């Protein structure tokens, strides 16, 4: 059949057309782009939740798509890609249902799927940043992106706990407890905890929350030191290999 002969050619043409796009995402430059997306989400989209529910849903949907793109392109194993697709798709479904139906368990399901997808992405980015090879500027930016992803993971964990156990946090009256403002509120609290600043306007009350806060504070102190030591050792090993090759 004629169409059978043209199918491989069409597939080959499609792959050739998308090769530059796929090649970009499989390189270290994608870590820089991921950092840019995270900065926009953290410091532009999340604080703009006061615009309305539609904007909240749109920004959350864009974040989910960026999360899916990161998992699909940075993950080397097919299993991780399929798992990431399922997790992000589940989060989008729960997010969409929660937008139309104001039900608490839908919001919890959305947060849970997002946490699992974030954990998978953190693992993938960590492997990308800490793998052997020369330390480039893209990899350093990827390490910063990983730092923000850790803060985001804890923010969603805090949101889940506050949903399941209202009153787990003591929040001052200036902070809104509306469902759409949870994310921005706990982004702020997570960054403050990770950097061990601690302004005191949001305080953990539940014992389990206090354990998470202590864990995040420890990670915030240890992560820069451990990562810096890893990057320095990789750079020394790379230069040593280059010197031995020149001899």
Tokens for 168, please give them: 């787990």
Average pLDDT of the residues of the chain = 75
Residue 181 lies in a domain: yes
Q: Output the pLDDT for position 94.
A: 76
pLDDT at position 11 is 35
Domain that holds residue 161: 29-246
187 is written with which tokens?
């982004």
Q: In the prediction, which pLDDT does 190 show? A: 94
User: How crowded is residue 171: how many other Cβ atoms within 10 Å of its Cβ?
Assistant: 18
Q: Residue 13: inside a domain, yes or no?
A: no
pLDDT band at 242 (very low <50, low <70, confident <90, very high): low
pLDDT at 88 over 50: yes
pLDDT band (50, 70, 90) for residue 27:
low
Q: Is residue 9 part of a domain?
A: no
Indicate which CATH number applies to the domain containing 234: 1.10.287.70
Q: Is residue 7 part of a domain?
A: no
Has residue 17 been placed in a domain?
Answer: no
Work out the average pLDDT over 72-91.
72
- Are residues 96 and 67 in contact, defined by beta-carbon separation less than 8 angstroms? no
DSSP notation for the chain: -HHHHHHHHHHHHHHHHHHHHHHHHTSTHHHHHHHHHHHHIIIIIGGGGGG-HHHHHHHHHHHHHHHHHHHHHH--SHHHHHHHHHHHHHHHHHHHHHHHS--HHHHHHHHHHHHHHHHHHHHHHHHHHHSSS---HHHHHHHHHHHHHHHHHHHHHHHHHHHHSTTSEEE-TTS--SGGGHHHHHHHHHHHHHTT---SSEEE-SHHHHHHHHHHHHHHHHHHHHHHHHHHHHHHHHHHHHHHHH-
Domain contains 18: no
Determine the pLDDT at residue 73: 61
Taking 90 as the threshold, does the pLDDT of residue 235 lie above it?
no
Domain-located, residue 107: yes
pLDDT tens, 213-230? 999 999 999 988 888 777
Task: Report which of 119, 124, 142 is spatially closest to residue 234, judged by C-alpha positions.
Answer: 142
Nearest to 141 by CA among 33, 57, 213: 33
In this structure, is residue 191 part of a structural domain?
yes
Between 150 and 99, residue with greater pLDDT: 150
Using 50, 70 and 90 to split pLDDT, how confident is the model at 70?
A: low
Report pLDDT digits (tens) over 4-25: 443 344 334 434 444 443 444 4
pLDDT by residue (tens digit) across 151-179? 999 999 998 898 888 888 988 766 555 54
Specify the pTM. 0.77
Q: How many domains does the chain have?
A: 1
- Which has more pLDDT, 70 or 171? 171
Q: Return the number of other C-beta atoms located less than 10 Å from residue 167's C-beta.
A: 9
* Spatial separation of the C-alpha atoms in residues 124 and 75, rounded to whole Å: 6
Greatest alpha-carbon span in the chain: 72
Give the model's pLDDT for residue 220.
Answer: 92
Instruction: Tell me how far apart the alpha carbons of residues 74 and 81 are, in angstroms, rounded to a whole number.
Output: 9
Phi, then psi, of 168 in degrees rounded to 5: -65, -20
* Mean pLDDT, range 78-105, rounded to an integer: 75
């Amino acid at each position: 059949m004629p169409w059978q002969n043209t199918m491989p050619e069409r597939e080959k043409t499609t792959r050739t057309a998308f090769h530059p796009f796929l090649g970009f995402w499989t390189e270290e430059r994608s870590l820089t782009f991921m950092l840019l997306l995270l900065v926009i989400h953290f410091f532009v989209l999340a604080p703009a939740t006061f615009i309305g529910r539609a904007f909240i849903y749109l920004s959350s949907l864009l974040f989910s798509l960026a999360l899916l793109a990161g998992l699909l392109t940075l993950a080397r194993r097919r299993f991780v890609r399929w798992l990431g697709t399922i997790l992000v798709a589940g989060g989008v479904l729960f997010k969409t249902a929660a937008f139309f139906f104001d039900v608490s368990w839908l919001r919890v399901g959305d947060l849970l799927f997002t946490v699992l997808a974030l954990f998978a992405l953190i693992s993938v980015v960590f492997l990308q940043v800490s793998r052997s090879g020369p330390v480039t500027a893209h990899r350093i930016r990827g390490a910063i992106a990983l730092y923000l992803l850790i803060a985001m993971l804890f923010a969603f964990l805090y949101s889940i706990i506050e949903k399941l156990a209202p009153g787990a946090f003591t929040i001052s009256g200036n902070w809104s407890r509306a469902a759409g403002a949870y994310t921005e509120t706990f982004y702020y609290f997570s960054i403050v905890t990770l950097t061990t600043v601690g302004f005191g306007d949001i305080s953990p009350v539940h014992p389990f929350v206090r354990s998470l806060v202590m864990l995040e504070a420890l990670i915030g102190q240890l992560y820069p030191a451990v990562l810096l030591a890893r990057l320095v050792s990789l750079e020394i090993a790379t230069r040593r290999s280059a010197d031995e090759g020149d001899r």
